[in-house]
Amino acid sequence: MTRTIASAKLDIAPSSVYYIPDFITHAEEQTLIDKVLTAPKPKWVHLKNRRLQNWGGIVSDRGMIGEPLPIWLSYLFPRFREARVFEGIDAFHQDPNHCLVNEYLAGQGIMPHKDGPAYLPTVSTVTLSSHCVLEFYKYPEDKEQEERDSTTEETRTQEPEFSLLVQPRSLLVLKEDVYKKYMHGIREITEDDLRTGNILNLPEAMPQGIEETPVLKRGTRISLTFRIVQKTLSAKKLFLRR
Ligand SMILES: O=C(O)CCC(=O)C(=O)O
Ligand SMILES: [Fe+2]
């Protein structure tokens, strides 16, 4: 039986964080890794500090021209439903319609950012292959836009307000406050010292304690980030409009 996210809510502020260890099995993890790594070459977008695959459609300001997620990704939908990940967030979507696959080699990461208004405020991330520490920075609501834009640069040198350790096969769900009021990022380092960074879910992610292994070496991590893009356009409609 899959646990519901309600039973996996972290008892922390902001309270909209849910963490389920071993959400998928080792065998499922391996299948997903194989599918990611055997995707057609042009599917990969290479960035400076990670590479990614975009599934479900390209998200733009005008909306997303949606295409169904491949079966190896929609395979997880019943699991998300059982865990009630996307339940009640929108009358029109029961399942996610978009998935970003990110691959980070050890030492790679992602700058602190917000995911923005194109998505509904529920992000569901399945982690494969290696752990990582996701860091959170308060978003400066009171600053002018210009200052906010420079914040991502500043936050790189700041200490995060809190962090989360995400282990292979886990599910991390971020909703509401933590989605809207915080930026998240992954530092470009090759190992994580679990004694620093104010990691709030250590009891859940390291139930054996951190005395024996206070420092975790990173391997290559693949993350599957499922979201709902609210505004979708059908390719047919776009074509007829011309
Ligand atoms: O890899 C992750 O867990 C985070 C990815 C992320 O923040 C994003 O794609 O917006
Ligand atoms: Fe993000």
> What's the complex ipTM?
0.98
Mean pLDDT within 16-36: 97
102 lines ligand 1 (CB under 6 A): yes
| Per-residue H/E/C for 98-132 | EEEEEEECCCCCEEEECCCCCECCEEEEEEECCCE
pLDDT value of position 107: 97
- The CB of 110 under 6 Å from ligand 1? The reply is yes
Per-residue confidence (pLDDT) for residue 15, from 0 to 100? 77
CA distance 165 to 134: 6
> What is the residue type of 131?
H
Structure-block tokens of residue 137: 């920075």
Encode pLDDT of 129-187 as tens digits: 999 999 999 877 665 555 555 555 556 567 899 999 999 999 999 998 888 889 999 99
Percent of the chain whose predicted confidence (pLDDT) is above 70: 89
Distances (CA, A) of 182 to 80, 113, 176, 209, 228: 24, 8, 10, 27, 19
90 has a pLDDT exceeding 90: no
Q: How far is CA 3 from the centre of its chain?
A: 19
The rounded Å distance from CA 103 to ligand 1 centre is 10
Query: Average model confidence (pLDDT) for the chain?
Result: 90
Among 119, 170, 186, residue to substitute to test ligand 1 (most atoms within 8 Å of Cβ): 186
Which two three-digit tokens encode residue 194?
């679990």
125 lines ligand 1 (CB under 6 A): yes
Partnered with residue 113 across adjacent β-strands are: 184
Q: What is the pLDDT of residue 63?
A: 83
Rounded to the nearest angstrom, the distance between the alpha carbon of 236 and the centre of ligand 1 is 31
CA–CA–CA angle 203, 204, 210 (5° rounding): 45
Q: Which of 55-69, 121-135, 154-168, 200-214 has the lowest mean pLDDT?
A: 154-168
C-beta 223 within 6 A of ligand 1: yes
Cβ-contact 224, 93 below 8 angstroms:
no
In this predicted model, which residue has the larger pLDDT, 66 or 22?
Answer: 22
Spatial separation of the C-alpha atoms in residues 214 and 201, rounded to whole Å: 14
- What is the pairing mode between strands 232-233 and 63-65? parallel
Structure confidence at residue 68 (pLDDT): 94
Q: 155 in ligand 1 pocket by Cβ < 6 Å? A: no
Ranked by mean pLDDT, which of 33-37, 60-64, 111-115, 136-140 comes out on top?
Answer: 33-37
The stretch 176-200 carries a mean pLDDT of 94
Residue nearest to atom 2 of ligand 1 (CA): 223
CA-based diameter of the chain, in Å? 64
